[in-house]
Structure 1
Amino acid sequence: RRALAELLDIPATVAEIAGFELSEDEFGKSLVHLFASDEEHRETVLCEGGRRQSEKQCEDDNHSPDTLWWARTSVQTRIPEHTKAVMLRDHDYKYVFRYYESDELYDLKQDPEERQNLAEDPEYAGIIQHMKNILLERMIETCDVVPRTIDKRI
């Protein structure tokens, strides 16, 4: 199966299987319909992560090479790739917008291993702009939600 899904689809899926409705605004889509079919689920998926360089608390650099988590935490401390980024992909392209570093664009049909970064190629400027527009729409759609109940102080 090649359906695109996000982690936020898991609560919606569990809720449907368990027969209850989620009480808060959720942006996930249940995956239950994919159990029996190969239909499309999402046109794009969004992922975000990393940290601002000023968030030193994330460096967790008090480990030494003989500790269990040293390999992971030492990488987070010394490489820039752990800083803020958002990724949007569809079945054809993967676009990564990085807060500090250079953006990335990959043609997943021609380059499934993501070895050729096309972000600087002017031929792909339209695709990048399209992906940025979708990213902006998704982020605005899913950012802060206005509370459903009126604050008792009002």
Structure 2
Amino acid sequence: MSRPPYRHFGRSLTPLPCDPDAPHRTYAFTEGGFTVEEEPQMERPGFPYDLKGAIQHERPELVGKAVAVRDHEWTYVWRLYEQPELYDRTKDPRERTNKAGDPAHAVIERRLHDAVLRWLVETTDVIPTVPDPRLPQVSLPVPGGGGGTG
């Protein structure tokens, strides 16, 4: 199988049904949405999504970029145009009571916020796995005729 031209961050779930104790990720991440500046690029869907599409164009901050992380108990959501959200899914499975900003949950909020930041740094702006074919080959002599300094 050939290597894809980009780095892949997924992991197979295949071992988990056979071995529930198989190591896997501590966190699951999700991202989506748009920046306000990207509004002209958003689709203009037809019926039955035309009304939703119109609202997104009138108020693009409503579909603003967001990143979420979940572990076994908590969900943390960081939104570009809104306040963060933190939910205790063991006590609030429908995620209706936002605990973000509550001093009693500050350690959990910080841990999940830091996990989001680390994940974003690890997974954005990666080097392609194959050379870009559009780049020209450059073969110039080293200035001064030497082998360079290294």
For Structure 1 versus Structure 2, the TM-score category normalised by the shorter chain is 0.7 to 0.9
**Which residue matches 1:13?**
none
Q: 1:105 is paired with a residue of what secondary structure?
A: strand
**Which residue matches 2:67?**
86
CA distance in 2 between counterparts of 1:76 and 1:56 reads 8
**Cα shift at 1:153:** 2.8
**Cα shift at 1:92:** 0.9
Unaligned runs of 5+ in 2: 139-150
Confirm or deny that 1:25 pairs with 2:11: no
**Cα shift at 1:30:** 1.0
RMSD, matched Cα: 2.4
**Which residue matches 1:6?**
none
Higher relative contact order (CA 8 A, sep 6+): 2
**Which residue matches 1:98?**
79
Q: How many residues align?
A: 132
Q: 1:41 is paired with a residue of what secondary structure?
A: coil
Unaligned runs of 5+ in 1: 1-19
Q: 2:37 is paired with a residue of what secondary structure?
A: coil
CA distance in 1 between counterparts of 2:36 and 2:83 reads 15
Residue among 107, 120, 137 paired with 1:153: 137
Equivalent residue letter for 2:36? Q
Confirm or deny that 1:43 pairs with 2:26: yes
Percent of residue pairs bearing the same amino acid type:
33
**Which residue matches 2:49?**
69
CA distance in 2 between counterparts of 1:78 and 1:116 reads 28
Task: Provide Cα deviations, 1:80-120, integer angstroms capped at 9, x if missing partner.
Answer: 43111100110111000011111100001111110110002
**Which residue matches 1:117?**
98
Q: 1:54 is paired with a residue of what secondary structure?
A: helix
Equivalent residue letter for 1:30? S
TM-score w.r.t. length of structure 1: 0.72
**Which residue matches 2:146?**
none
Q: Check 1:70–1:146 CA distance in 2 against 1; reply closer, same or farther (3 A cut).
A: same
**Cα shift at 1:21:** 6.0
Residue among 32, 40, 43 paired with 1:57: 40
Q: 1:127 is paired with a residue of what secondary structure?
A: helix
